[in-house]
Amino acid sequence: MTAGVAEAEGVAGSVAVVRAARSPRRARFIERTGVRVAVAVIAVIWSLPTAGLLISSFRSNADIRASGWWDALLHPFEAAQWTVSNYVSVMKADNLATSFINSLVVTIPAVVIPITMAAFAAYAFAWMRFPGRRLLFAGLDLNGTFLGVWLAHTGFGLPLAIFLLYNYISQLPGDLFESAQIDGASHFQIFRELVVPLSVPALASFAIFQFLWVWNDLLVALVYLGTNEEVATLPARLNELVGTKGESWHLLTAGAFVTMIVPLAVFLLLQRYFVRGLIAGSVKG
43 is a site residue for other proteins (CB under 8 A): yes
Helices (H) and strands (E) in the chain, counts: 16, 0
147 is a site residue for other proteins (CB under 8 A): yes
Residue 201's CB is within 10 A of a number of other CB atoms, namely: 14
| Long-range CB contacts (within 8 A, 24+) of 213-222 | 213/153, 213/157, 214/106, 214/107, 214/110, 214/111, 214/153, 214/157, 215/103, 215/107, 215/262, 215/263, 216/263, 217/153, 220/149, 220/152, 220/153, 220/156, 221/106, 221/149
116 is a site residue for other proteins (CB under 8 A): yes
158 is a site residue for other proteins (CB under 8 A): yes
Which one, 88 or 192, has the nearer CB to other proteins?
Answer: 192
224 is a site residue for other proteins (CB under 8 A): no
Q: How many residues bind other proteins (CB under 8 A)?
A: 131
109 is a site residue for other proteins (CB under 8 A): yes
Task: Count Cβ atoms within 10 A of the Cβ of residue 84 and give its class: 0-12 exposed, 13-18 middle, 19 or more buried.
Answer: exposed
Least distance to other proteins from the beta carbon of 116, Å? 5
49 is a site residue for other proteins (CB under 8 A): yes
Applying the rule CB under 8 A, the residues between 190 and 209 that interact with other proteins are 190-191, 193-194
Least distance to other proteins from the beta carbon of 77, Å? 22
Least distance to other proteins from the beta carbon of 228, Å? 12
222 is a site residue for other proteins (CB under 8 A): yes
Least distance to other proteins from the beta carbon of 22, Å? 17
Q: Which stretch binds other proteins (CB under 8 A): 72-80, 82-90, 161-169, 199-207?
A: 161-169
Would you put residue 186 in left (φ > 0), alpha (ψ -120 to 50) or beta?
Answer: beta
Which one, 85 or 189, has the nearer CB to other proteins?
Answer: 189
Q: Which stretch binds other proteins (CB under 8 A): 75-83, 84-92, 173-181, 199-207?
A: 173-181
**DSSP per-residue codes, 169-192:** HHTS-HHHHHHHHHTT--HHHHII
9 is a site residue for other proteins (CB under 8 A): yes
What SS3 state is found at 59? strand
Q: Which stretch binds other proteins (CB under 8 A): 58-66, 73-81, 88-96, 199-207?
A: 58-66
Among candidates 118, 154, 153, 113, which has minimal Cα distance to 233?
Answer: 153
Q: Which of 90, 96, 210, 217 binds other proteins (CB under 8 A)?
A: 217
Task: Give the per-residue contact string, 250-269, with other proteins (x = CB under 8 A; - = no).
Answer: --xx-xx--xx--xx-xxx-
Applying the rule CB under 8 A, the residues between 71 and 90 that interact with other proteins are none
